């Protein structure tokens, strides 16, 4: 399975730095879930870190974005399968992707 995401490898103008990338989704750890994003907007607050305002707290490359909604499509073996298909709201950054 592959993930499609908006990544940046350097700080600067988001129009120049954000790139659509394909990456393999790593196998789930026992306590992890795989979330397929349904919607993840680009907001003005998402552009600030891409421009470098928080560069001391961000490791590059980085997936842009802080908000979105998705649904659980797969669970690790220590997670209840009843969570599959549940909608979720990620609370930490890096939500601009197809599968996270």
pLDDT of residue 1: 82
Catalytic residue among 2, 20, 54, 76: 54
Cα(58)–Cα(54) distance, integer angstroms:
6
Instruction: Please indicate whether residue 54 is annotated as part of the active site.
Output: yes
pLDDT in tens, the chain (100 residues): 888 989 999 999 999 999 999 999 989 999 999 999 998 888 898 899 999 999 999 999 998 888 889 999 999 999 999 999 999 988 765 555 555 5
Q: Whose CA is closest to 97, among 30, 25, 44?
A: 25
Tell me which H or E stretch contains 16.
helix 14-17
List the domain boundaries for the chain: 2-88
Instruction: With beta carbons less than 8 A apart as the criterion, state whether 97 and 6 touch.
Output: yes
Taking the mean position of all CA atoms in its chain, how far away is CA 26? 13
Name the fold adopted by 2-88. Answer: Quinone Oxidoreductase; Chain A, domain 1 (3.90.180)
- Cβ neighbors of 22 (< 8 A, separation 6 or more) are 2, 3, 4
DSSP state of 81: G
């Amino acid at each position: 399975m592959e993930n499609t995401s908006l990544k940046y490898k350097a700080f600067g103008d988001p129009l120049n730095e954000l790139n659509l990338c394909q990456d393999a989704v790593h196998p789930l750890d026992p306590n992890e879930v795989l979330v397929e994003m349904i919607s993840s907007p680009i907001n003005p607050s998402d552009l600030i870190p891409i421009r470098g305002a928080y560069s001391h707290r961000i490791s590059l490359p980085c997936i842009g974005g802080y908000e979105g909604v998705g649904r659980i499509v797969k669970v690790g073996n220590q997670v209840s399968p009843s969570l599959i298909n549940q909608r979720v709201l990620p609370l930490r950054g890096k939500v601009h992707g197809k599968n996270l």
